Amino acid sequence: DVVMTQSPLSLPVTLGQPASISCRSSQSLADSDGTTYLNWFQQRPGQSPRRLIYKVSIRDSGVPDRFSGSGSGSDFTLKISRVEAEDVGLYYCMQGTHWPATFGQGTKVEIK
């Protein structure tokens, strides 16, 4: 299985400051058609995961533009330009290129 490694696992952030989460895969996530199926999910306390970004950088409808995704191959990043209180929770990267799909361990974002 493709191993997804996130860092850091814990991310204390000051309100209004930027935050960045790294996700690395054990092999390239570029599919044979050139598409990279790398997604980011947010899980607020007590809620189910919510997809924020798919195919590396496409934001889902309703996701604030302070969230952005980037990367290629096996190295990806989720950035929050200015953290707000509602951003507290767990963030997961997930690859859908190789079967079975796999998730990162999760990064806990909290307010300092």
Partner 1 sequence: QIQVQESGPGLVKPSETLSLTCTVSGASISSDYWTWIRQSPGKGLEWIGYINDRGSINSNPSLKSRLTISVDTSKRQLSLKLTSVTAADTAVYYCAKGRTAPVYWGQGTLVTVSS
The answer to the question of residue 106 lying near partner 1 (CB under 8 A) is yes
Q: Is 49 in the site for partner 1 (CB under 8 A)?
A: yes
Reported as half-sphere exposure (CB side, CA atoms, 13 A), residue 57 has a value of 6
- Look up residue 35 and give its two tokens: 């598409």
Which residues does residue 76 pair with via DSSP β-bridges, in sequence order?
A: 23, 71
Minimum Å distance from CB 99 to partner 1?
6
Binding string to partner 1 for residues 22 to 41, with x set by CB under 8 A, is what?
---------------x-x--
For partner 1, the closer of residues 54 and 88 by Cβ is 54
The DSSP code for 97 is: S
5: contact with partner 1 by CB under 8 A: no
3-class SS of residue 12: strand
Q: Are 77 and 23 in contact (CB under 8 A)?
A: yes
Residues at the site binding partner 1, with contacts judged by CB under 8 A: 37, 39, 47-51, 54-55, 60, 92, 94, 96-97, 99-103, 105-106
